[in-house]
Amino acid sequence: MKREERVNATREALLAAAERLFAERGVHAVANREISQAAEQGNNTAVVYHFGTKADVVRAIVRRHAEPIGRRREQMMTNAAGSTDPRDWVACLVRPLTEHLEALGSPTWYARFTAQVRADPTLAAILTEESVDTTPALLDLAGNLARCLPGIPGNIRAERAMMARHLVVQMAIDRERALAAHSPTHHATWAEAADSLIDAITGLWQAPVTLPGTAKA
């Protein structure tokens, strides 16, 4: 194996080990030497040598997944261009993640890793930056949904977009955890889970809006 190939293999092994350990225990609870040992690297300074700080490791893991997810989303949004059906745009939010997790095989740790990262404001900023940088069209999702649902006020749209993101992330975490534990799941495949999520989130977006002062007691 050439030196460059050895370096790439070492980096991949370190990232895979770090992702699993961070997902299971939290980013700050894992020492660099534990990552090296889990990656079967004899040098306990391998993480610092190849990546630098723990934040750099997190960024490398996020980028490792955000890029293929971003490519899927870009393609889906290109295919959906001009659609006035909110379900098409909700699918652009859901399916890139579920398809990516399915492609990884089982078990996976990325959904649980993102949950740990989101719990830390500094690290969460890395997740947001990398997701936006690798998928500029992600910023257009809300705009496309707004065109499909023009009667929803801007503040309600923002709130529902946040609800939708939380729902996607949490359901991915729950399914990923169940698959890793070989526990029963509601759906046989990630594609079926995505269909159910898209149904629910489309319904969320189309739900009636209660304007201030109009709610019944």
Same-domain status, 94 and 174? yes
Q: For residues 37 and 67, state if they share a domain.
A: no
Question: Which residue type occupies 14?
Answer: L
Q: Same domain for 24 and 71?
A: no
SS3 assignment, position 24: helix
Identify whether 16 is part of a domain.
yes
Give helix 110-118 / helix 154-180 axis angle, nearest 10°.
130
Q: Give the mean pLDDT of 191-203.
A: 97
Whether 97 and 166 share a structural domain: yes
Q: Are residues 68 and 40 in the same domain?
A: no
CA 24, CA 39: separation in Å to the nearest integer? 15
Query: Do the domain assignments include residue 122?
Result: yes
Looking at the structure, do residues 38 and 143 belong to the same domain, yes or no?
Answer: no
H or E segment to which residue 159 belongs:
helix 154-180
9 belongs to a structural domain: yes
What would the pLDDT profile of 143-189 be if each residue is shown by its tens digit? 888 899 988 998 999 899 899 989 999 999 999 999 999 999 999 99
User: Phi-psi region for residue 40, left (φ > 0), alpha (ψ -120 to 50) or beta?
Assistant: left
User: Does 34 lie in the same domain as 61?
Assistant: no
Asked if the structure places residue 213 within a domain, the reply is no
Does 84 reside within a domain? yes
- Structure tokens that stand for 16 in this block: 């895979």
Question: Quick one: 137 and 173 in the same domain?
Answer: yes
* Measured distance CA(91)–CA(73) in Å, rounded: 9
Across the chain, what does the average pLDDT equal? 90
Give percent of the chain above pLDDT 90: 71
Decide: 87 and 202 in contact? Cβ < 8 Å. yes
77 and 119 belong to one structural domain: yes
Task: Specify the number of domains making up the chain.
Answer: 2
Whole-model pTM: value is: 0.89
Residue 47 placed within a domain: yes
**Per-residue confidence (pLDDT) for residue 217, from 0 to 100:** 54
pLDDT for 61:
96
Segments forming the whole domain that contains residue 19? 1-52
Judge if 87 and 67 occupy the same domain.
Answer: yes
* In a domain? residue 217: no
Q: What is the CATH number of the domain that holds 39?
A: 1.10.10
Q: Say yes or no: 83 and 3 in one domain.
A: no
Instruction: Express each pLDDT in 81-139 by its tens digit.
Output: 999 999 999 999 999 999 999 999 989 999 999 999 999 988 999 988 887 655 666 66
SS3 103: helix
Last residue of a domain, one of 10, 36, 52: 52
Question: Considering the domain boundaries, does residue 216 fall inside one?
Answer: no
Looking at residue 131, its pLDDT comes to: 74
Cα dihedral 161, 165, 168, 174 in deg (nearest 10): -140
Q: Are residues 133 and 151 in the same domain?
A: yes
**Cis-peptide into 107, omega within 30 deg:** yes
pLDDT of amino acid 3: 78
